[in-house]
Amino acid sequence: MVMRVAAPGAEGAVLLLHGGAENGLRRPSWLNPASWRMRPFATAVGRGGGLTVAEARYRHRGWNGERADAARDAAEALAALRERTGGLPTVLVGHSMGARAALRIAAEPGVAGVVALAAWCPPEDPVEQLAGARLVFVHAAADRITSPRESLLTAVRARAAGAQVCRFVVPGGDHAMLRQAGLWHALTAAAVHGLLGLRPLPPETVSAFALPARSTDGLGVRAVPRAAG
């Protein structure tokens, strides 16, 4: 785990979980583009102070099937952050494989919510652990690396399992979150601060969270700057 922002007197914490590969046992380099991609998100969520921001370090580049290495490393990083902060409520912000890991460990103690960016959501992944969780998905409509449809189906399954779910769709966009980067950052910051109770959640998120388990509304909200609130 690497500390990005260590805020004295912080009211909450954020754990960033970068992307990776389906398979790969090599250790990611510190020059790993997937890790650098999360740096602007650390800046965005940390702006204004009041939050401790950390980034998980993976032992391996890949998820590696049933080993689920990224999820195991994410859980260890979360435990280390919890000890470091004295148990502050924590939002998990994951991209691609990191989002998959965040969803897998959403039931860990102290997790106040998950922001899943361009989430890798294989249909066979479990959702039972998401009962009672608060989840904000953000996915680009034109993502060709991770499937927007599979993240939508996971959002539907998660809500049916008892999670509160909102899902924003970025028009166009891409997997790397470089196009309309400011919108990605603003949506993430608004979700993080809202999930931690530091600011009101965006109204679209509040409405989506209130929907019943069988509803599919609020899972394809068009992402626009005002939604970042």
Residues 53-78: pLDDT tens digits?
Answer: 999 999 999 999 999 999 999 999 99
Q: Which of 152, 137, 148 is nearest to 216 (CA)?
A: 152
Sheet strands side by side (includes 12-17) = 2-5, 51-55, 12-17, 90-95, 111-117, 134-140, 164-170, 221-222
Contact 135, 163 (CB under 8 A): yes
DSSP secondary-structure letter at 21? B
* Fold exhibited by the domain 2-228: Rossmann fold (3.40.50)
Q: How many CB atoms lie within 10 A of CB 6?
A: 12
Q: What is the pTM of this model?
A: 0.95
Q: Which two tokens stand for residue 124?
A: 């066979």
Q: Left if phi > 0, otherwise alpha if psi is -120 to 50, otherwise beta: which for 92? A: beta
Residues 163-208: pLDDT tens digits?
Answer: 999 999 999 879 999 999 999 999 999 999 999 999 999 999 999 9
Average pLDDT taken over every residue of the chain: 93
Phi, psi of 85, rounded to the nearest 5 degrees: -100, 0
Low-confidence winner among 120-124, 186-190, 205-209, 221-225 (lowest mean pLDDT)? 221-225
**Residue ranges of E strands in the chain:** 2-5, 12-17, 51-55, 90-95, 111-117, 134-140, 164-170, 221-222
